[in-house]
Amino acid sequence: MNNWVVYILRCKDNSLYTGVTNHMEKRLKAHNDGKGAKYTKARRPVVMVYSESAQNRSEAQKREAAIKKLSRTEKLGLIAS
């Protein structure tokens, strides 16, 4: 059984990046090594500031899409909660 996670990263330029993975440590390392998403490659280092578990990849991707639709203020509120 895969353990899917939806996460938010804070980039060096203080922007936020949202993604999904089933191996958080490996994915965070990939982002910081410049092998993750194109968006984070030029905004390293990144720090994980929020994560939540999902039952499967489909649910994780649905939640990722919902988070990406939030305003920055709403994302910051989610991170603070």
- Where is 67: in which H helix or E strand? helix 57-68
Task: For 8-65, write each residue's pLDDT tens digit.
Answer: 999 999 999 999 999 999 999 999 999 989 999 999 999 999 999 999 999 999 999 9
CATH number reported for the structural domain that contains residue 62 in this entry: 3.40.1440.10
Q: Domains in the chain: how many in total? A: 1
* pTM, full prediction: 0.94
Q: Which domain holds residue 16?
A: 4-80
Closest CA to 14 of 42, 36, 46: 46
Which positions ≥6 away from 60 have C-beta within 8 Å?
4, 5, 6, 20, 54
Rounded CA separation 71/77 (Å): 10
| Token pair belonging to 31 | 């982002």
CB 45 within 8 A of CB 12: yes
